[in-house]
């Protein structure tokens, strides 16, 4: 929009105004207004860039910068008045700057398109928010590490196919999740290397005939560098897809943690009890203590997969350069960051305050069949080929499970094994 509230930024090409249905369908302010700090930061850098190459005078520069500072304060304290004609955060900021700075404010968009402006905003937002997510993952790792230290020598069954396999230390189990989360951090930081590129100066698709200096604005914004190809700068969203993929994997890893806590806190397992502050009850069943955080961690993973899949489907087959379809990059990205951030905080608290049941864990791990692999490997150490040892022990386990005798007694009675093995 221009400073005239009823006119679109692009009104000059059209005789009539946009239909209400068009404005309602195409608006993005409802979700992209969270980009206001980044939009203002990008505009501040752009204003300095325009003055740097002589397009704005010092007086004009200072007037527009003062207006942008005023807009930032209004956004921050909630006094900014959005108008019905504000299509998006970019339009709203420019309208208000023009109201405050007059003719100088009308020069704010010189040499810039909403294509490179929006791409810059999103990259700035991603740089900040993905680092915040990575820090929250590290916080969860710290919780797992501390719980592992506190667990000491407590052990429980390790599972394959959700059947008891071999005893493992509780600490070992918890740290397995910590290592998965470490890779999540690595992926986010790796994605940031490709996000850390400024698109500002690429214009709508082919730059500008004005003597802009994209390197200058990239440095002012703290980017590692600027774009190499203007079409690619405004016409690609693979960095968003990469971030969504990394966030989805975080969600999947948290889902696995959640599933285990659903199992462990059930009466059937009884390995852990949730703190009252991290569980809910039932509106009908007074005995219930439900692991809602753990269950929602599973459910949110499906939502994140949907965010990623929907985004990839939207981006598929789009020609260079910008298409309005790109408006659909923000909601799945924002949603993924929001959901992961909340999940990390909730799961960290859930794990930090959970109470273990060592006796129940260790009793489950002490079943006779849990030592079957150790017995087979003991035979290997006595020169028996592993496949033969596997068959011998498997037959003994079958007889034990059929109720013939305890595994220990069967081993002791077997002439090929003897009392040493028992």
Question: Hey, which residues are catalytic here?
Answer: 161, 282
Using alpha carbons, select from 262, 269, 317 the residue that is nearest to residue 292.
262
Return the half-sphere exposure (C-beta side, CA atoms, 13 A cut-off) of residue 378.
15
| Distance, CA of 280 to CA of 288 (rounded, Å) | 8
Closest residue by Cα to residue 238 from 306, 147, 311, 167:
311
279, 289 contact by CB (below 8 A): yes
Tell me which residue of 39, 181, 211, 41 sits closest to 111, measured CA to CA: 211
Burial class (CB in 10 A: 0-12, 13-18, 19+), 403: exposed
CA 284 → CA 113, 163, 289, 293, distances in Å?
57, 33, 12, 20
Q: Which tokens in the block code for residue 138? A: 């590290």
Contact between 122 and 191 (Cβ < 8 Å): no
Q: Count the neighbouring beta carbons within 10 Å of the beta carbon of residue 207.
A: 18
Question: Given its phi and psi angles, is residue 164 left (phi above 0), alpha (psi -120 to 50 degrees) or beta?
Answer: beta
Residue 393, C-beta contacts closer than 8 angstroms, at least 6 positions apart: 372, 375, 376, 379
Nearest of 395, 344, 364 to residue 155 by alpha carbon: 364
Helix axes 238-264, 330-353, angle to 10 degrees: 30
């Amino acid at each position: 929009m221009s400073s005239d509230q009823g006119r679109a930024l692009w009104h000059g090409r059209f005789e009539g105004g946009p239909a209400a249905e068009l404005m309602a369908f195409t608006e993005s302010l409802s979700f992209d207004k969270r980009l206001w700090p980044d939009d203002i930061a990008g505009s501040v850098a752009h204003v300095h860039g325009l003055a740097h190459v002589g397009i704005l005078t010092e007086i004009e520069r200072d007037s527009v910068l003062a207006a942008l500072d005023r807009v930032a304060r209004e956004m921050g304290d909630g006094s900014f008045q959005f108008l019905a004609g504000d299509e998006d955060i970019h339009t709203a900021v420019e309208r208000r700057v023009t109201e405050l700075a007059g003719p100088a404010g009308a020069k704010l968009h010189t040499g810039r398109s909403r294509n490179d402006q929006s791409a810059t905003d999103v990259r700035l937002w991603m740089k900040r928010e993905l680092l915040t997510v990575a820090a929250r993952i590290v916080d969860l790792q710290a919780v797992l590490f501390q719980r592992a230290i506190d667990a000491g020598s407590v052990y429980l069954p390790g599972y394959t196919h959700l059947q008891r396999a071999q005893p493992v230390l509780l600490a070992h189990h918890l740290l397995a999740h910590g290592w998965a989360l470490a890779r999540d951090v690595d992926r986010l930081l790796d994605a940031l290397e490709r996000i850390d590129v400024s698109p500002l100066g690429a214009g709508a698709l082919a730059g500008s005939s004005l003597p802009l200096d994209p390197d200058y604005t990239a440095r002012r914004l703290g980017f590692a560098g600027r774009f190499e190809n203007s079409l690619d700068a405004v016409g690609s969203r693979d960095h968003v897809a990469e971030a969504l993929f990394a966030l989805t994997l975080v969600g999947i890893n948290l889902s696995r943690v959640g599933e285990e806590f659903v199992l462990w806190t059930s009466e059937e397992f009884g390995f852990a009890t949730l703190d009252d502050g991290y569980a809910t009850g039932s509106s009908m069943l007074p005995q219930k203590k439900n692991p809602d955080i753990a269950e929602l961690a599973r459910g949110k993973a499906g939502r994140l997969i949907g965010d990623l899949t929907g985004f990839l489907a939207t981006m598929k087959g789009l020609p260079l350069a910008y298409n309005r379809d790109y408006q659909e990059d923000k909601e799945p990205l924002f949603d993924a960051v929001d959901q992961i951030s909340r999940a990390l905080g909730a799961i960290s608290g859930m794990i930090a305050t959970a109470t273990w049941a060592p006796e129940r864990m260790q009793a489950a791990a002490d079943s006779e069949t849990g030592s079957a692999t150790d017995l087979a490997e003991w035979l290997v150490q006595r020169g028996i080929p592993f496949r033969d040892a596997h068959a011998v022990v498997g037959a003994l386990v079958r007889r034990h499970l059929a109720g013939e005798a305890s595994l220990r007694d069967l081993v002791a009675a077997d002439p090929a094994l003897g009392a040493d093995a028992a």
